[in-house]
Structure 1
Amino acid sequence: MNTLMTKTLILSSLLTLTTWAYAAEDTATAQSSMHPKALFAQADKDGDGKLNSTEFAELQSLRDAEMAKRQAARPDFATLDKDGDGLVSQDEMRAGMKAHRGGRHGGRGGQCGGEPRQGMLSQADADKNGTLSESEYQQLLKLRQERQAQMNAATPDFKTLDTDKNGQLSQEELRAGMHKSVKMMATPATDAE
């Protein structure tokens, strides 16, 4: 075999292995029960890759059930307070949440069930000492529940998300509509003068 053919075969084998690795990783991520693709696939009863209004309602129910399950399984204060000093540091919080998720990375930028956002930690840290007492941790959990309720209330309805008005939601329509909704929530309202 000549050198060029050998290099081509090696390169093509590496590309194939890399593609398989990425495909396996995407499949594992999509199979995570809270991953949007997994929830979408569960709700898509007819398997056509789109959601009708009934399937969209199922998607919302699945999301709510998954969030409730995660809320119930969240580590308690004593579990997070590894050194037993009555306070949970940010490092203890990160380690505890990582262990809780089985070593998997949390939600995007600390959202959606991952580590709490820095703003929520600061808000819950009433004495501003950089750690959370048990009552401050309970406040953090309350803030997270309030944030989730706000996100649920801001979820656009089926008709709003169905931008092409074909009675079906594609993953792209759903993703774009939810992104717009989250972006609107993050933008502070301004008073008109």
Structure 2
Amino acid sequence: MPSLDLLLSRFSTDALAEPAPQGAVLDTILSTAMRAPDHGRLRPWRYVIVQGDARPALARRIVASMKRLDPDVAPAKIEKRQTRFSTMPMIIVLGMHLRPGDKIPLIEQELAVGAAAMNILNALHATGFGGVWVSGDVAYDPELAAELGFPAPHGLAGFLFVGTPRPGARGPTRRAVDDYVAEWTGTPVRFGADDA
């Protein structure tokens, strides 16, 4: 039961401070990715750790991508991303090493990347750290992906901001699961969450 309590208490937060995990602790956290469901054992996840003086350089690439994707991007949006990518204690770039010609469909490869990232978020929480998974338009920019080491057909699944949750950081109130579950009895199901 303590493991379930741990999972039920996890939340995403970008209210993060130093320190971020390092050394053997970080290795253990990242190793949880290797336990994710992975049809075909392709291990399509790849991680790039960005910290210290590399953060502002990544932020400049993010801003360049934003301007490339939308020349009219709002200055406030640029400033927000510049600040976040420059100041988070650690950023983990979520790379996808995809094999389009493989017998395993691409969607299953991408789902494996997502499952591995969720394992990392759970492991961060279990070790006293925190994080949030962010994406946005730049995560789908093939030029940015290539600049980070993931040329097509590979790509990005987003970024994890990682650090120690600031005092008072807490997640949103979670809804009860009842509206998201239905039992199939031979006819199409309906969900309470879809009636809202």
Q: Which has the higher contact order (CA 8 A, sep 6+)?
A: 2
TM-score by length of 2: 0.22
TM-score by length of 1: 0.23
Q: Which has the higher strand share?
A: 2
Which is higher, the Rg of structure 1 or of structure 2? Answer: 1
